[in-house]
Structure 1
Amino acid sequence: MVRSSRDLSYLAIAVNKVLAELEDAAVRLAVVDVPSPALKILDFESVYTFTQSLRMKLRKEGVTALFLLDKEMHDDRSLSSMQEIFDGLIEIERQRVGDRIERKIGVIYMDRTYFESGYKTLEISREGIRVVSEGAS
């Protein structure tokens, strides 16, 4: 986990340090929870440019990245523009059903690969997260 000040240039420096330390790592995966919080405090153009640059840097270094966007925090135009940066879009829906929260996951689009359309249920437990087919018990 990398934490940085609100300045995107400091975050870029922190990411560069992490990438330098990953040189021998077998698994190269990043979860980036920057765009939504950054869009609350910074202008759209700065966040868009930073996110696009970070995505390209991670790709160049062979890191698979999952960028998180909270669609309820942004207008449709901003969401659409941000989504153009990425190779795919996976949506997780949350819905209250009685006294439980149900989560469903669906692949909206994914470049250069086949994917199954439709939403699947997510089960979250102490053992982890599991995708459940609709016919499974």
Structure 2
Amino acid sequence: MSGSLTFRDGSWVISDLPGHVSLRFKQVFTGIASGTVPPFTLRDTPDRARDLDWFMSRYPLRMSPETAARLRASVADYQEGQDRVARLLSGDHVPPDAVGIRAPERADPHQVRAAALLRETGRLLLLDDVGLGK
């Protein structure tokens, strides 16, 4: 094992990493300053849990059964979110009408899809050809 992982107060705490693993950890999790030493604390988000899970495939970490269950649940949340976004982006999925469009105006299908994607992810970079309407 390359160190330990615990879940405390809504954050992942990574400790007891050997030097070479600590260096790699800071390369993967770029928000950690290069001069810091373990323990490292990362706020829990589904994407961060997925990154931790990936990191642990190369550098296994000790953890309690409760921490392992929390990690699995967060990784599952990440995957469910990715699946929802993939469905929205597929040409087959037609989301319900966009909220906030007042009659008699009507949103085009690409506008409805963009609004649904924004609601799902909380962020969106939107580009279009001139004249299509964002």
In the superposition, the TM-score normalised over structure 2's length comes to 0.24
Larger Rg: 2
Structure with greater proportional strand content: 1
In the superposition, the TM-score normalised over structure 1's length comes to 0.23
Higher relative contact order (CA 8 A, sep 6+): 2
Structure with greater proportional helix content: 2
